[in-house]
């Protein structure tokens, strides 16, 4: 079954049968003009709808980024606390935060042994190592985060290689 928009579109795209002597009739000309205006209005509305959806998605992504950015210091401190003390309660809170971040589409990155990528990592120190062909991460000061593929924060690392 066709919806209203499809029916209107089909009617607008139909050719209006015009007899040769009626081609100069003002009513026919007015009908053609109205049809043209309606087609333009329908296209304009479709563009507006698409633009509105895109803007809504962008606002949603920006809002998620701001929420994740606000909680990054808390996540960093929980991560440090987990490393310093092996408390079950701290681990549970950290896992809850990690679950919320994952639900928002945020993922951490920056692992010791991973290849250094200047677009994702910020190196604060570098140790020369002739045995390595490329720079690899040897220490992590703070993890980096991506939200739906968008960089929120670079990982702060020490490299060698």
Q: Give per-residue pLDDT as tens, 26-67.
A: 888 888 888 889 999 999 999 999 999 999 999 999 999 999
Within-domain flag for 10? no
How many separate domains does the chain show? 1
Within-domain flag for 110? yes
For tokens 């408390």, the residue is 87
Domain holding 48: CATH number? 2.30.22.10
- The sheet that has 155-160: what strands, in order across it? 121-127, 155-160, 136-142
Decide: 110 and 140 in contact? Cβ < 8 Å.
yes
Kindly report the CA angle at 107 between 150 and 92, in degrees rounded to 5?
Answer: 150
Domain span holding position 64: 20-160
Within-domain flag for 79? yes
Within-domain flag for 9? no
**DSSP of 75-94, one letter per residue?**
HHHHHHHHHH---HHHHHHH
Within-domain flag for 113? yes
Percentage, residues of the chain above pLDDT 90: 53
Within-domain flag for 64? yes
d(CA 147, CA 143): 13
Within-domain flag for 127? yes
Within-domain flag for 5? no
| pTM of structure | 0.67
| pLDDT-based confidence at residue 82 (cuts at 50, 70, 90) | confident
Give the number of C-alpha atoms closer than 13 A to the C-alpha of residue 50, restricted to the C-beta side: 6
In the prediction, which pLDDT does 67 show? 93
């Amino acid at each position: 079954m066709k919806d209203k928009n499809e029916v209107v579109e089909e009617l607008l795209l139909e050719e209006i049968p015009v007899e040769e002597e009626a081609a100069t009739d003002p009513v026919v000309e007015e009908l053609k003009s109205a049809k043209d205006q309606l087609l333009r209005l329908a296209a304009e509305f479709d563009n507006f709808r698409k633009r509105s959806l895109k803007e809504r998605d962008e606002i949603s992504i920006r809002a998620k980024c701001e929420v994740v950015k606000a909680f990054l210091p808390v996540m960093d401190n929980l991560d440090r606390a987990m490393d310093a003390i092996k408390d079950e309660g701290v681990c549970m809170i950290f896992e809850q935060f990690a679950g919320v971040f994952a639900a928002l589409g945020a993922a951490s990155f920056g692992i010791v042994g991973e290849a250094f990528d200047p677009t994702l990592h910020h190196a604060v120190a570098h140790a020369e190592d002739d045995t390595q062909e490329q720079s690899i991460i040897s220490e992590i000061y703070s993890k980096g985060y991506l939200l739906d593929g968008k960089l929120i924060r670079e990982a702060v690392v020490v490299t060698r290689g």
